[in-house]
Amino acid sequence: MANMKQSEIAKKLHKSPGWVSKYCRRDLSKPESFYDAPRSGAPVTTLTPENMKVLEACEGKLGQSVTVLRDKLGISTGSVSTGFKKLGLFAYRRSVQSRLKKKHKKIRYATATRMRHHGVEYWENYLITDEKIWTVDGYFNPQNDRVRAKCKEDVEAVERDKFPGKRMVWLGMSARALTGLVHFQGSVNGTVYREKVLKKVVLEDVLKRTKSKGLPIHKRKMFKRNQDMIFEQDFAQPHSTNANQEFMEENFPAHTPTLWRYEGKDELFFGPKWDDFWPIERYWGISSQRVYRNPRPTHIKGVMRRLREEVRNTDPKTLLKLVHEMPAKMNEIYRLKGAKIPSNFDARKSAFACKCSVCCDV
């Protein structure tokens, strides 16, 4: 092999020419012999079966960073990353959810057992409501909001106020339309909520809508028959007053009670901690991405103006798809015995997914 070219040696050894140039050396006393050159870095055999077992045991555990495992196993960070890739273990961010106690899971499971047989026609009768506090700063995701530059000094910092302007807003949705936005100035109590929402919006607006054609989405009729409406609200303190409960019993066709004395007595009692089920939470998330698009608003009036635009421009298909996911979500809660629905749950892949033309449209 002394007279062979480097390319010929590489072909015979089934290696690249670069590998031969870097790692092959001739013994001057024996020109025909080759030996491996000294190599820097970790040896090729770092991912031994013992090390792979250690990496495999990291699945589902916290505090298993690449640097910690590097020091523990005495191998390079690249070897640790390669080992995880071979095992199919990737690093994911943990989503934040409200804590469920045993009592909450028990109530959720009982409700799912009772409600899981309802189809999309039943859930289309719900007026699903929620409040959200909007701030000027909005949300900031350092992982996604990145800027390409040649050096760190060229990237401007994200400026945030210590006490940003904020506004609490109430909204209701159904499978067909939205309510108008209700803005709250300052604190909200049961009386303010009853006058501005239950009476002015639901009783005097939603239940009196009779037309949809040619009207904006926040003024259309929300149900096939208004007398079939089921008003839903969460367990916020202003909602859970005796006066508001009496008002709804006297004026609404049906509603979900938020007083604990109705537990086990009212079929529509859901209990707290259903933010993973009600589609308005997902609607808030979709709206937030568009409200805080670049250039971001610099004052609360700009945030509210964009929010009003988003409500007016909402695609009716979006509302229909969100509501038609509810049977699949309810059955998933039943399957999990009241536990939270995982963030990667896809209702379209569920056995209870809606098969209508809108939901099947990709």
pLDDT per residue as tens digits for the range 97-154: 677 899 999 999 999 999 999 999 999 999 999 999 999 887 666 666 677 677 777 7
Q: Is the pLDDT of residue 91 over 90?
A: no
Q: Is the pLDDT of residue 276 over 50?
A: yes
- Give the span between the Cα atoms of 326 and 336, in whole angstroms: 15
pTM of the entire structure?
0.76
Among the residue ranges 74-83, 228-237, 315-324, the one predicted with the least confidence is 74-83
Q: What's the confidence (pLDDT) of residue 31?
A: 46
Q: What's the confidence (pLDDT) of residue 278?
A: 97
Beta-carbon contacts of 120 under 8 Å, excluding residues fewer than 6 positions away, are 175, 323, 324, 326, 327, 354, 356
pLDDT per residue as tens digits for the range 173-227: 999 999 999 999 888 999 999 999 999 999 999 999 999 999 999 999 999 999 9
Among the residue ranges 34-48, 52-66, 146-160, 306-320, the one predicted with the least confidence is 34-48
- Range 193-222 burial, b when 16+ CB lie within 10 A, else e: bbeebbeebbbebbbebeeeeeeebbbbbb
Domain ranges of the chain: 6-36, 44-87, 102-360
Average pLDDT for 70-92: 85
Percent of the chain with pLDDT strictly greater than 90: 58
In CATH terms, 102-360 corresponds, of 1.25.40.10, 3.30.420.10, 3.40.50.720, 3.40.190.10, to 3.30.420.10
